[in-house]
Amino acid sequence: MSPELAGPIGFAIVVLLIALRVPIALAMALVGTVGSIALGGWSSATYVLSNLPFEAVSTDGMEVVPLFIFMGVFATYSGLSSNLYSGVQALIGHWRGGIAMATIGASAGFGAICGSSLATAATIGRVAMPEMRSRGYADSLAAASVAAGGTLGVLIPPSIILILYAILTGESIGALFAAALIPGLIGTVLYMAAVQAQVLRRPELGPAGPRFTFRQKIVALSRIWDALLLIVLVIGGIYGRFFSPTEAAAVGAGGALLITALRGKLTGKILVKGLAETASMTGMIFLILVGAALFNYFIELSHLTTVLTDAIQASGLPPLGILFLIIAFYVILGCFMDALSMVLLTVVPLYQLATGLGFDGVWFGVLVVTVAEIGLITPPIGMNLFVIQAVTPNLAIGTVIRGILPFITADIVRVAILVAFPAVVLYLPRLFGF
């Protein structure tokens, strides 16, 4: 088989294996190893199996992954999520649709600590869904606002997917964190606007909640000072160049552990459980990185990037037209695959293609993660939709799907803004000198 055919066939086989529920790490490692043997012989396989797995998980910057996971795990155990939700609800919960908007705001705040979309959706969902149901909110709006708000955890720093993108492409973690902040805030505002648009048209979807007194607002907000301090310390430390991303991750991990202790939640059982959860999630991500390294070596041997570049040049499409094809590819792939799998499977060849066409690598990374977010709430496989169903009793998946369309529309508007105005992404990295 010619290398030109091997690359596309190998990619298709990986997608098929994932669709058959083979773990992505195993699917990529298997195809990468077999493909490398087929194209490079046994000497190639010796290099692949002896060196690449170690190189994949021992590069500079890898230590931030377990540290930020640790931070997110203990932020969850400390009860930060419920306090964030109560604080935002005190400010805007009395508006029509306000509790759904508070859910989105709390998701954005918790995502800035947690860094995981699925964890954000599950954690906030356990707090927000019973509250919205008790206030007479329609399940479709309530569940969709939690699912959509959870996707903010993928983009708002610290983001595990942005860290992995930086490791795979060689881009700066600090630059990506700075670049993602404004798009994350835009996403938060657009999601809230999607809630408002629905309740203006159908007020019964989200009745107004109780109005808090000034004193009640102060009390509610006073309970989130430690969460805000942790966010400012970690993200502000990176932006101000007081910490490297690795140091900021260590500060965040220590801060989350300290907050858990100060709130009286740090028992021996919680400590062991949190460490085990951190180890499990880190091991899963490292195994996926090993599989991605094996698969990407096979992609290099197959010259798939060169084949794609030559085909695109022969098509005569302008760079912007090619970018829209990449976006459409990610949206379609997101209907069948989770965001982490998408990025790790495709980002290396598409990054080379995009930067070769003149697009900025940091801007492209934020765009890719933003589009991957759409996949998290896109039927039929949108992972956040099923997370909300799993943590909410008597909730049909069809109900969640019916409510998600306005939020997908908001995401499409956000992608259009990022494409039309790249400065929205690149302003902060340039301002902070990354």
CA distance 198 to 362: 34
H helices of 139-172, in order, are: 139-150, 152-155, 160-169
Contact 380, 390 (CB under 8 A): no
- CB-count exposure of residue 27 (10 Å: 0-12, 13-18, 19+): buried
Judge whether residue 182 has pLDDT over 90: yes
Contact 117, 158 (CB under 8 A): no
Residue in this structure with the two tokens 């990054």, named with its chain if needed? 351
For position 428, what pLDDT does the model report?
Answer: 92
For position 364, what pLDDT does the model report?
Answer: 95
Centre a 10 Å sphere on the Cβ of residue 420 and count the other Cβ atoms it contains: 8
DSSP 8-class letter at 421: -
Per-residue confidence band for 420, with pLDDT thresholds at 50, 70 and 90: very high
For position 313, what pLDDT does the model report?
Answer: 66
DSSP 8-class letter at 211: P
Give the contacts of 276 (CB within 8 A, at least 6 positions apart). Answer: none
- Give the model confidence (pLDDT) of 265-276 as tens digits: 888 899 999 899
Judge whether residue 383 has pLDDT over 80: no
Question: What are the tokens at 163?
Answer: 């860290």
Residue in this structure with the two tokens 């062991």, named with its chain if needed? 272
Contact 326, 308 (CB under 8 A): no
Rounded average pLDDT over 212-225? 80
- Choose from 338-352, 366-380, 406-420 the range with maximum mean pLDDT: 406-420
Question: What are the tokens at 148?
Answer: 């959509």
Judge whether residue 186 has pLDDT over 90: yes
Of 72, 144, 130, residue with least CA distance to 101: 144
Rounded average pLDDT over 59-70? 78
Angstrom CA distances, 159 to 48, 103, 251, 272, 324, stand at 29, 19, 16, 24, 24
For position 406, what pLDDT does the model report?
Answer: 92
Per-residue confidence band for 179, with pLDDT thresholds at 50, 70 and 90: very high
For position 422, what pLDDT does the model report?
Answer: 94
Of 182, 183, 177, residue with least CA distance to 241: 177
Rg (alpha carbons) of the chain, rounded to whole number: 22
CA distance 390 to 377: 15
Length of the chain: 434
Percent of the chain with pLDDT over 70: 95
For position 380, what pLDDT does the model report?
Answer: 67
- Lowest average pLDDT, out of 93-107, 278-292, 301-315, 316-330, goes to 301-315
For position 194, what pLDDT does the model report?
Answer: 94
Per-residue confidence band for 290, with pLDDT thresholds at 50, 70 and 90: confident
Question: In a 3-state reduction of DSSP, which class is residue 320?
Answer: helix
CA distance 133 to 129: 6
List, as one string, the DSSP characters of 106-140: HHHHHHHHH--HHHHHHHHHHHHHHHHHHTT--HH
- Choose from 52-61, 221-230, 277-286 the range with maximum mean pLDDT: 277-286
Amino acid at 25: A
CA distance 163 to 71: 15
Contact 349, 305 (CB under 8 A): yes
What's the pTM? 0.81
For position 3, what pLDDT does the model report?
Answer: 66
Amino acid at 194: A
CA distance 110 to 231: 9
Judge whether residue 381 has pLDDT over 70: no
Largest CA distance in the chain: 73
- Choose from 198-212, 240-254, 410-424 the range with maximum mean pLDDT: 410-424
Phi, psi at 401, each rounded to 5°: -65, -40
Q: What is the mean pLDDT of the chain?
A: 83
Contact 197, 145 (CB under 8 A): no
Rounded average pLDDT over 108-125? 77
Give the contacts of 241 (CB within 8 A, at least 6 positions apart). Answer: 432, 433
